[in-house]
Amino acid sequence: MQCYLDNSATTRPTEYVAEAVRKCMLEGFYNPSALYAPALTSEKQMAACREAIARELHADARNVIFTSGGTEADNLAILGSLSFFRGGRVLFSAGEHPAVRAACESVRNQFDVQEIPYDEKGVVDLNALRELLTPDTRLICVMQVNNETGAIMPLQEVAALRDQLAPEALLHVDGVQAFMRLPVDMRKMGIDSYALSGHKIHAPKGIGALVTGGRVKLAPRALSGGQEKTLRSGTENTPGIAGLMAAIESYPRENNMMQVKLHLYEQLKEIAGDKFFVNGPKPEEGAAHILNCSLVPVRSETMLYALEGDQVYVANGSACSSRKQKISTVLAAMNTPRKQAESAIRFSLSPYTTMEEIDYALSCIRRHYDMFKRYERR
């Protein structure tokens, strides 16, 4: 049995999505900018996808910009909006994805860039944010769901503080781990821009979007033929957009992910007893698809490779950073003890993950844990 529990890294496109992509590639391959009739169909499909995204986020379809994915959307929101300012403060939360962190770090020579700390549960510390907000704050970046811990950020409270202390500041939300999994109302929540990615919700890789509110002015990062209202030039990725549309349409909103996750949590607790730790919020308080926990003293990599032998695939934090061998910045921001951080494993589910798969994974984990706990590293 194969058990894929790394859905926060990427997901397997469903048959329905793959068919939509295939159909678009073979039949709807026309360049949406072309003048003949079939190209119009491509353009209409794009418009439908824009509508679907806008509906989901309570935004205006005219403000949906297709990108190559979450990273480009985050980069465009941050660097594109900051290019209209000189000086001032930029804030990003301590556990932001590198797409946000690296973009903010890159403007350090022009802005006063500061990190908003996390509390021990991996949630943005609102008191610290209150201290950091100044009237000249230009941009605040807070993700909706942390990709490593599943912690849900108090975006409404962040926006309220912003309104009170730095009303001019834009609020950018990296929603890559939340889109379709948590409700979003950009208007009500006071979000100025929102980044999303297709391949985290069973669409193909290479498609994502940035959705903006009325206040955001952006300078383009890719210059060419003026597509996406000149904000993101380059021929549109129509098969990706078709896939994203199909993924949104078919996403099972009613699902039992939380139930599956709580079952996983209970069983892991039983396997490792007092050596079991959750990294992040209480399981029932976090996002339904992510559980980050430690089975001390077995190191993450050891467990991960052992499970790989059983075709059970999990992550040791975020796939984006696993090539850099150090303790994850997110766990470090939460002051996670070293031994616990070194054993951290991230399980991430999809609505299609079954209880049987989880029970199979658990049986493998139990076997490996009982074996490897004997050989504690110093």
Partner 1 sequence: MRQLILVRYGEIYLKGLNRPYFIRTLVNRIKQAVRPFGGKVWLNDSRIFVSDMTDMEACMEKVRKVFGVHSLCPAIEMDKSDFNAVCEQAAEMMKDIRGTFKVDSRRSDKRYPMTSPEINMQLGGYVLSRCPDLKVDIHKPEYVMNVEIRDHAYLYVRVIEAVGGMPVGTGGKATLLLSGGIDSPVAGYCIAKRGVEISAVHFHSYPYTSERAKEKVLTLAKQLSEYCCGIKVYVVPFTEPQLQIHEKCPEEYGTLIMRRFMMRIAARIARNEGSKALITGESLGQVASQTIEALCCTDAVADMPVFRPLIGNDKIEIIRIAEKIGTYETSCEPYEDCCTVFTPRHPATHPKMDHVERAEACLDIEALVSAAVEGTEVIEL
Q: Note the maximum CA span of the chain.
A: 69
Rounded to 10 deg, the angle between the 15-26 and 238-250 helix axes is: 150
- Binding segment for partner 1 (CB under 8 A), chosen from 10-18, 162-170, 205-213, 318-326, is 318-326
Q: Which of 54, 244, 303, 361 binds partner 1 (CB under 8 A)?
A: 303
Q: Of 240, 201, 195, 199, whose CA–CA distance to 46 is shortest? A: 240
Q: Is 2 in the site for partner 1 (CB under 8 A)?
A: no
Q: Assign residue 133 a region: left if phi > 0, alpha if psi is -120 to 50, beta otherwise? A: beta
Q: Least Å distance between CB 150 and partner 1?
A: 25
Kindly identify the residues of this chain, within the stretch 353-372, that bind partner 1 according to CB under 8 A.
368
Q: Least Å distance between CB 3 and partner 1?
A: 16
Choose between 306 and 331: whose C-beta lies nearer to partner 1.
306
Burial class for 255, CB neighbours closer than 10 Å (0-12, 13-18, 19+): middle
Choose between 84 and 305: whose C-beta lies nearer to partner 1.
305
Q: Is 44 in the site for partner 1 (CB under 8 A)?
A: no
Q: Least Å distance between CB 170 and partner 1?
A: 36
- Binding segment for partner 1 (CB under 8 A), chosen from 103-111, 122-130, 235-243, 301-309, is 301-309
- Determine if the peptide bond prior to 239 is cis (ω within 30°): no
| 46 vs 324: CA distance, rounded Å | 37
104 is catalytic: no
Choose between 116 and 271: whose C-beta lies nearer to partner 1.
271
HSE-CB of 10 using CA atoms within 13 angstroms:
13
- Binding segment for partner 1 (CB under 8 A), chosen from 29-37, 144-152, 157-165, 303-311, is 303-311
Q: Which of 163, 168, 308, 370 binds partner 1 (CB under 8 A)?
A: 308
Give the count of beta carbons closer than 10 Å to the beta carbon of residue 160. 14
Residues 6+ positions from 127 with CB-CB distance below 8 Å: none
Q: Contact 265/291 with Cβ under 8 angstroms?
A: yes
Q: Least Å distance between CB 303 and partner 1?
A: 8
Q: Is 374 in the site for partner 1 (CB under 8 A)?
A: yes
Q: Which of 134, 230, 302, 363 binds partner 1 (CB under 8 A)?
A: 302
Kindly identify the residues of this chain, within the stretch 319-348, that bind partner 1 according to CB under 8 A.
323-325
Q: Contact 175/184 with Cβ under 8 angstroms?
A: yes
3-class secondary structure for 8-35? CCCCCCCHHHHHHHHHHHHCCCCCCCCC
How many residues sit close enough to partner 1 to count as binding (CB under 8 A)?
16
Choose between 310 and 359: whose C-beta lies nearer to partner 1.
310
Residues 6+ positions from 45 with CB-CB distance below 8 Å: 24, 28, 238, 241, 242, 245
Q: Least Å distance between CB 348 and partner 1?
A: 20
Choose between 76 and 362: whose C-beta lies nearer to partner 1.
362
Rounded to 10 deg, the angle between the 300-308 and 355-372 helix axes is: 120
Q: Least Å distance between CB 375 and partner 1?
A: 6
Give the count of beta carbons closer than 10 Å to the beta carbon of residue 339. 15
Q: Which of 226, 249, 305, 335 binds partner 1 (CB under 8 A)?
A: 305
Residues labelled as active-site residues = 320
Interface ranges with partner 1 (CB under 8 A): 301-306, 308-309, 323-325, 368, 374-375, 377-378
